[in-house]
Amino acid sequence: MELSIHNWMRAETIETTIRRASSLGYTKIEIAGSPEHYDTKEVRKLLKQYGLSCWGSVTLMLGDRNLLAKDEAQRSKSIQYVKDVARMVKELDGHMISVVPGTVGKIIPDGRPEEEWQWAVDSLQDVYHYTESSGILIGIEPINRFETYFVNRGDQALALAAAVGPDCGVCLDTFHMNIEEDDLYEAIKRAKGKLVGFHVADNNRMAPGMGMLNWSKILETLDQIGYNEVLSVEFCSPLDRTPANPYPNSIDEHPENLSPEQKKFLEDHGSASVSEEFYTMLTQKSFETLSKLIK
């Protein structure tokens, strides 16, 4: 099993992220789903230079991106966005993309349950046909109820994946699972044979090892179902703006390369652009916690 890290959690150049990850022992990166921001030829050079490879990407379903929108034109635009993410991953020799079907932050439905289910299935099947021909796997990712009303648990994601196609899988995330699943370990077991990605953050969305999750048992459960691919670190640290803050100088007051959608995403998740010192600590803590447990 290898360790990967996302690069959307801090405003910095992709080279800065790759250089740090490599220096701390990571072997892979899961690149943010913003294909318009990356020259894949240059990113490939950087990955080779620092001895990393691309594991995949995660869709950033912000703004009007919504695979189950009532408006057909909006759905079509969203489908093309996910295909563009898949194309980027293909150009970087990556393996998978995790797909959140609905808009992150949207908690009011557009239609009846049966209508939205069909819109989601149709949209994902369009994406699926594209990714199948490209050799890229897609994993439907459940996220918690405060970020979406659609697909919050692993069993929902598995049902949607089954409706999309035989090679459609799921991507689970420990932070969201800790909120939504009745038994985190049983949810992992139910995903046996369908798990194409696994995101890791602690119960407080800090780095693994900085909360209450039992990482030894989580990795043992992954081993039991035969998942030995990649753990993708995806903390999104909440920032303490009170005198009780245990991490002074954690906020980056002058962020660089922070797109409007990244800024909104971080702010919506109780965070902001974090300082390099704080981010490096979180990245290192994640590696130290997980590396001694993986086989």
Active site (catalytic) residues: 141, 234
Backbone angles phi, psi at 110, to 5 degrees: -95, -20
Residue 35, token pair as written in the block: 């294909």
Residue 225, token pair as written in the block: 């179902």
The 10 Å Cβ neighbour count of residue 277 is: 12
**DSSP single-letter state for residue 106:** B
Find, among 108, 88, 105, the residue nearest to 97 by Cα: 88
Show the beta-strand stretches assigned E in the chain. 2-6, 28-33, 53-59, 96-99, 137-140, 169-173, 195-200, 230-233
Between CA 120 and CA 125 the distance in angstroms is: 8
Contact 44, 52 (CB under 8 A): no
Give every CB contact of residue 274 below 8 A, 6+ residues apart in sequence. Answer: 9, 10, 237, 239, 250, 251, 252, 282
Helix (H) or strand (E) holding 173: strand 169-173
Find, among 62, 98, 221, 122, the residue nearest to 171 by Cα: 98
| Maximum separation of any 2 CA atoms in the chain, in Å | 54
Left (φ > 0), alpha (ψ -120 to 50) or beta: where does 257 sit? Answer: left
Backbone angles phi, psi at 192, to 5 degrees: -55, 130
User: Which residues does residue 225 pair with via DSSP β-bridges, in sequence order?
Assistant: none
